[in-house]
Structure 1
Amino acid sequence: MEEFYLTAIFLFVLFLMLGTGVWVGLALFGVAFVGLELFTTRPAGDAMTTVIWSGTSSWTLTALPLFIWMGEILYRTRLSEDMFRGLAPWMSRLPGGLVHTNIVGCTIFAAVSGSSAATLTTVGKMSIPELRKRGYPERMIIGTLTGAATLGLMIPPSLTLIVYGVTVNESISKLFLAGVFPGLTLALLFMGYVAWWSFTKPEEVPDISEKLTFGQKLWESRFLLPVIVLISVVIGSMYLGIATATEAAAFGVIGSLILAALQSSLSLSTFLDSLIGATRTSAMIMFILAGAAALSLAMGFTGLPRALATWIDTLGLSPFALLMALMVFYIILGCFLDGISSVVLTMAIVEPMIRQAGIDIIWFGIFIVVVVEMAQITPPIGFNLFVMQGMTNHGMGYIAKTALPMFLIMVVMVFILIFFPELVTYLPENMRATPGG
């Protein structure tokens, strides 16, 4: 019963601090300090100082601010306008019409930005007014964009996957490649939902008057070339074994600066704004990671993760039952915390369970990202809901209702991952080796 006693104390202190509005990073430090002081003989100050330094000085972590900076730079370019112009001619004839530009646009921008919020804002600032102007239903515009923007968490480069990889000491490059096929599959499922809507309610789909020839469509596609080249450089350099995740991030920053300069979007003001934005986001994530490292140390000294893993083992849960329990757990947790916080808060306890159950740690990284994606569109703390509310002034309840079909599609995606694990493991197992993460 001792592990339950310790768990109760840890959770009580954590939720007490979070409930009083304390930053997530500080809450993690507080729980770690209480755990070390009350249940170990190790000096809390010395132990936490050492582990915070070692946990945040990893070379792999340098990919994090670089990818964030790349997304910040691209957010300030004309990328969203160019993407809509390049995609619209090809999407207009699909079942569901231009609503598909929300999904395909988010998929493309997710490949050059690790953030769902950046993906939502960038694609939404162009697609929402264009789709409204053409008479598409508001619920489809809002719902598909809110849901599809979560692809920014899975399709590489993904900030959540970087944080997960550092937490479990796994290759970032392999995690990135593991997310490619599941991300594309989820995008196709979203597009399938739009097609289903167009077949069941054809009266809601506006008629497209303009018809372009194949040559005209190809000419309009020239606007997609810059972002396609950038994606090829970032993802291709990792897949071919030319670069690690960190080096690919550096290529991405250089490429995004060149793209911004070519679009005449690069000025001293936008450069500094992007740098400040990336610094703020990176500092927030690093602070959470530092707190998580301290909490992992405290839990390690108390023996709590090992005890809980042993207890779970005695329950005789099959790997499938364990995954179902964790899916429900993370969905509930995601109602109150953002994705990165959910990952770093729990991995100290969850990782031993996963390894004990024989579940592939890279596969589980993609599983947890899909579940965390759900949390982005679940009230009351779903971050994408807040971003969309700020963009459209719709009520939180309305936005969550429009995104509900996308949430259910993500649940389906979880079962696809479980029954077809090769979707995740194929690329990492066939990737050329790269030095480091």
Structure 2
Amino acid sequence: MDPLSLGAIVAFSTILVLFSGISVAAGLLVVSAGFLIVFDGASSLNLMPEVFFGKLDNFALLSIPMFIIMGAAIASTRAGADLYEALERWLTRVPGGLVISNLGACALFSAMSGSSPATCAAIGKMGIPEMRKRGYPDSVAAGSIAAGGTLGILIPPSVTMIVYGIATETSIGRLFLAGVLPGLLLVALFMAWSIYSTARSSDGSALIPTSYSWAQRFEILPRVLPFLAIILGVLYAMYGGIATPSETAAVGALLCLVIAMVIYSMWSPVAIWAVLRDSTRESVMILFIIGAAGVFSYMLSSLFITQSIAEWIGGMDVNRWVLMGMINLFLLIAGFFLPPVAVILMAAPILLPIITTAGFDPIWFAVVLTINMEIGLISPPVGLNLYVINGIAPDIKLKTILVGSLPYVGCMVVAIILLCLFPGIATWLPDMIMGAEL
């Protein structure tokens, strides 16, 4: 059978299997085993365990559970609430300061925790009731938190960037740096839209600031600054040549646990066990998907599907930006139905040779891919963040949350367009700090 036709059958079969409700990792293994047996014979299954564990035999993978523990320790405390309160007290005099506080808290907390649902839950529990009480429209209150929660997969340290780096054998340090300026760009776009929509939709009462004394502003800083110092310390250790990402992640995880114990009195063995248990579950899930995606990629390569797709696309007589538009459309649709880690592991090995042949920078492409995944987190039918917000504020209809989040999807599309026009937004910082790649 023609490899391209076979690839179409594999894609259709994979979608059907994943839509059946089976886990992503198990679904990828089932599809891989089925096609290997049919087209390569049962003996080809002998290599599956070696490929699976070989994909996990990577020192860089140690950073994933460490960063997850780091985020779980932060998420298990009142750090999110304190971060929100601190920003509210310091930004209260800024026009639209409350919505800016929420988005800023989302950006910082998501960077610390690396989890979009955890960010929505932590900041939303405090921010949504307060914004509604102050007269902000429900769509702005819910949509801003849902969108702000997506920033964690772009702003470093990002687990999805680690996964992309491992899948494409790209420098994780460069990927982290590449996410900084685009992350700040998204925060700025989110804030600009939120202030505009608030001023347009409200009667102005939402913009009336609450007065806080200087004592109240400084009072809360000792509870949030240590966590921010850890994030800055982790980044400095990586880019200062002091330690590898895995080593700095381990130290960061330990320090976050210690600070959670000291500042928030998390001394209970039950609470500590919950952090380690939840972190282990999430880490195993991600690592299982990584191993299964390795087997899936092996199957595609073994049946010459990957090579044929790359050759077919490379031979298309189309402008490279038309090609990039097609890739973005594919990523956007995939992100509607699958979690970011699964999309990256399945698509990145196939797309990498295509985008490099077309003359695109793989570091730049990682940022574009990640923003596409962010759109999926606030778009139906899956739209995980939408359901998290609905759980926090069940009296806000899901339709209202969706309508409120759509303008932020537009902000992300604008960010992608700006990245296409000015790729230096993603590549300038890595090149400046780590030197231009040859």
Query: What's the TM-score bracket when you normalise by the shorter of the two chains?
Result: over 0.9
Partner of residue 98, structure 1:
98
- The aligned runs of 1:358-397 (5 Å cut-off) are 358-393=359-394, 394-397=396-399
1:402 and 2:417 equivalent? Answer: no
Offset of 1:200 from its aligned partner?
A: 2.8
- The aligned runs of 1:318-397 (5 Å cut-off) are 318-393=319-394, 394-397=396-399
- Aligned 8 A contact 2:134 2:206 in 1: yes
Q: Structure 1 residues 33-42 or 375-384, which shifts more?
A: 33-42
Offset of 1:379 from its aligned partner?
A: 0.5
Structure 2 distance, partners of 1:177, 1:25, is 29
The counterpart of 1:421, out of the listed 410, 423, 435, is 423
Structure 2 distance, partners of 1:97, 1:36, is 57
Structure 1 distance, partners of 2:320, 2:267, is 50
- The aligned runs of 1:109-128 (5 Å cut-off) are 109-128=109-128
1:314 and 2:315 equivalent? Answer: yes
Alignment-mate amino acid for residue 427 of structure 1: L
Structure 1 distance, partners of 2:119, 2:212, is 28
Offset of 1:36 from its aligned partner?
A: 1.9
Structure 1 distance, partners of 2:428, 2:207, is 41
For normalisation by structure 1, the TM-score amounts to: 0.94
Offset of 1:102 from its aligned partner?
A: 1.5
Ranges of 4+ aligned residues in structure 1 off by more than 6 Å = none
Alignment-mate amino acid for residue 200 of structure 1: R
Alignment-mate amino acid for residue 91 of structure 2: M
Alignment-mate amino acid for residue 341 of structure 2: I
- Aligned 8 A contact 2:134 2:205 in 1: no
Partner of residue 430, structure 1:
432
Partner of residue 291, structure 1:
292
Offset from partner CA, 1:295-336 (integer Å, 9 cap, x none): 111111111111111111221233321221111111111221
Structure 2 distance, partners of 1:346, 1:209, is 47
Residues 204, 345 of structure 1: alpha-carbon distance in 2 compared, 3 angstrom cutoff: farther
Partner of residue 226, structure 1:
226
Q: Structure 1 residues 168-177 or 12-21, which shifts more?
A: 12-21
Partner of residue 414, structure 2:
412
Unaligned runs of 5+ in 1: none
- Aligned 8 A contact 2:96 2:198 in 1: yes
Offset of 1:11 from its aligned partner?
A: 1.7
Partner of residue 151, structure 2:
151
Offset from partner CA, 1:156-186 (integer Å, 9 cap, x none): 1111111111111112121111111111111
Alignment-mate amino acid for residue 318 of structure 1: N
- Aligned 8 A contact 1:84 1:101 in 2: yes
Residues 198, 401 of structure 1: alpha-carbon distance in 2 compared, 3 angstrom cutoff: closer
Alignment-mate amino acid for residue 382 of structure 2: I
Partner of residue 58, structure 2:
58
Alignment-mate amino acid for residue 237 of structure 1: A
- Aligned 8 A contact 1:327 1:371 in 2: yes
- Aligned 8 A contact 1:198 1:205 in 2: no
Alignment-mate amino acid for residue 52 of structure 1: F
Partner of residue 279, structure 2:
278
Partner of residue 2, structure 1:
2
- Aligned 8 A contact 2:136 2:198 in 1: no
Structure 1 distance, partners of 2:407, 2:267, is 39
Structure 2 distance, partners of 1:392, 1:157, is 29
- Aligned 8 A contact 2:64 2:159 in 1: yes
1:160 and 2:153 equivalent? Answer: no
Structure 1 distance, partners of 2:205, 2:277, is 42
Q: How many residues align?
A: 433
Structure 2 distance, partners of 1:326, 1:171, is 22
- Aligned 8 A contact 2:93 2:209 in 1: no
Partner of residue 239, structure 2:
239
- Aligned 8 A contact 1:7 1:304 in 2: yes
Structure 2 distance, partners of 1:417, 1:207, is 32
Offset of 1:222 from its aligned partner?
A: 4.3
Residues 85, 205 of structure 1: alpha-carbon distance in 2 compared, 3 angstrom cutoff: same
Offset from partner CA, 1:58-115 (integer Å, 9 cap, x none): 1111111111111111111120221122111222222223011211001111221222
Structure 2 distance, partners of 1:44, 1:390, is 46
Structure 2 distance, partners of 1:411, 1:168, is 24
Give the secondary structure class of the aligned counterpart of 2:337. Answer: coil
Unaligned runs of 5+ in 2: none
- Aligned 8 A contact 1:161 1:175 in 2: yes
Give the secondary structure class of the aligned counterpart of 1:359. Answer: coil
Offset from partner CA, 1:19-76 (integer Å, 9 cap, x none): 3222111111122112322333683322111111110121111111111111111111
Q: Structure 1 residues 198-207 or 41-50, which shifts more?
A: 198-207
Q: Structure 1 residues 51-60 or 208-217, which shifts more?
A: 208-217
Percentage of pairs with the same residue: 35
Structure 2 distance, partners of 1:15, 1:323, is 23
Alignment-mate amino acid for residue 38 of structure 2: L
- Aligned 8 A contact 1:370 1:414 in 2: yes
Offset of 1:207 from its aligned partner?
A: 4.9
- Aligned 8 A contact 1:60 1:166 in 2: yes
Structure 2 distance, partners of 1:425, 1:42, is 46
RMSD: 2.0
Structure 2 distance, partners of 1:390, 1:147, is 16
Alignment-mate amino acid for residue 296 of structure 1: S
Partner of residue 248, structure 1:
248
